């Protein structure tokens, strides 16, 4: 019987790399995105053809609890179980806090943090019933140390880190592991808002001398999904020695 992974924000970047890695390992997939749905469908078709797996695609706002409930239920109805949940969906906001209005704040909190509560809330009961499961949250080094002009994003990622630690303790007796990856600068569209000069300045600060790749995040995530059950409630930093 093949395992199943549910991955949010899967149409590109880290999410697409996660989908490719778990598909290569034989997992059936449930993938979602808010925009770029055609890109997600094309990825799903490629993965199904290449790896002989089944992929469900969902389009919706992960900040919408009703959407999450529907996606999880349809995934369980189709595959019977969700073995791995990866909360990857996220948006950024760069600017002074005083320039941010309440609508922006609510949107980033809903997308980046409330969505993690929602997916966990819906997936956990089936994992508890199975006495097995892995929840992997894609976080950021800014959740550890905070970033100027990214206060809301940092708050979300700090919340994810605390949620990960607490939920790992809560679910360990049910043999469910909850861990997070605190990413440094990963070469994705989210970081392509910077100019070449700004990107070069960033890279100069990283001891590894480069940005990380989405594939490296995916590799670490798969390692967490197959790690000892004793590895639980941890925030693993992947940043090339930067922070």
- For position 206, which CATH number holds? 3.40.50.720
**Is residue 241 situated within a structural domain?**
no
Instruction: Quote the CA–CA distance of 236 and 233 in Å, as a whole number.
Output: 10
The Cα angle at residue 87 between residues 162 and 230, in degrees rounded to 5: 60
Which pLDDT value is given to residue 89? 98
153 is catalytic: yes
- The count of structural domains within the chain is 1
SS (H, E, C) 91-141: CCCCCCHHHCCHHHHHHHHHHHHHHHHHHHHHHHHHHHHHCCEEEEEEEEC
**Is residue 243 situated within a structural domain?**
no
Instruction: Quote the CA–CA distance of 34 and 220 in Å, as a whole number.
Output: 25
The sheet with strand 176-183 has its strands ordered as 55-59, 28-33, 4-7, 84-87, 133-140, 176-183, 235-238
- Residue among 27, 93, 153, 222 flagged as catalytic: 153
Which pLDDT value is given to residue 223? 98
Which pLDDT value is given to residue 1? 72
Which pLDDT value is given to residue 191? 75
**Is residue 23 situated within a structural domain?**
yes
Tell me, rounded to whole angstroms, the distance of Cα 231 from its chain centroid: 18
**Is residue 183 situated within a structural domain?**
yes
Which pLDDT value is given to residue 235? 98
Which residues in the chain come in under a pLDDT of 70? Answer: 193
**Is residue 56 situated within a structural domain?**
yes
Residue 95 belongs to what domain range? 4-236
Q: Which residue has the tokens 């890109």?
A: 39
Structure tokens at 21: 């890695």
**Is residue 161 situated within a structural domain?**
yes
Which pLDDT value is given to residue 53? 98
**Is residue 242 situated within a structural domain?**
no
């Amino acid at each position: 019987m093949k395992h199943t992974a549910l991955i949010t924000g899967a149409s590109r970047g880290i999410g697409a790399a996660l989908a490719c890695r778990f598909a290569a390992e034989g997992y059936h997939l449930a993938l979602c995105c808010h925009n770029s749905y055609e890109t997600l469908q094309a990825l799903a078709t490629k993965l199904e053809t290449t790896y002989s797996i089944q992929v469900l695609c969902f389009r919706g706002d992960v900040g919408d609890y009703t959407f999450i409930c529907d996606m999880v239920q349809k995934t369980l109805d189709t595959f019977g179980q969700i073995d791995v949940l990866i909360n990857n969906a996220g948006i950024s906001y760069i600017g002074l806090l005083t320039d941010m209005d309440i609508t922006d704040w609510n949107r980033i909190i809903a997308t980046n943090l409330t969505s993690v509560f929602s997916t966990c809330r819906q997936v956990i009961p089936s994992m508890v019933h199975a006495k097995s499961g892995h929840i992997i949250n894609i976080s950021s080094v800014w959740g550890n140390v905070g970033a100027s002009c990214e206060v809301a994003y940092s708050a979300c990622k700090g919340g994810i880190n605390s949620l990960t630690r607490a939920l790992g303790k809560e679910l360990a007796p049910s043999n469910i592991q909850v861990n997070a990856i605190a990413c440094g600068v990963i070469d994705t569209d989210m970081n392509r808002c910077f100019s070449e000069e700004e990107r070069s300045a960033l890279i100069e600060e990283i001891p590894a001398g480069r940005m990380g790749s989405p594939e490296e995040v995916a590799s670490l995530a798969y390692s967490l999904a197959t790690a000892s059950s004793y590895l639980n409630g941890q925030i693993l930093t992947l940043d090339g020695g930067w922070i």
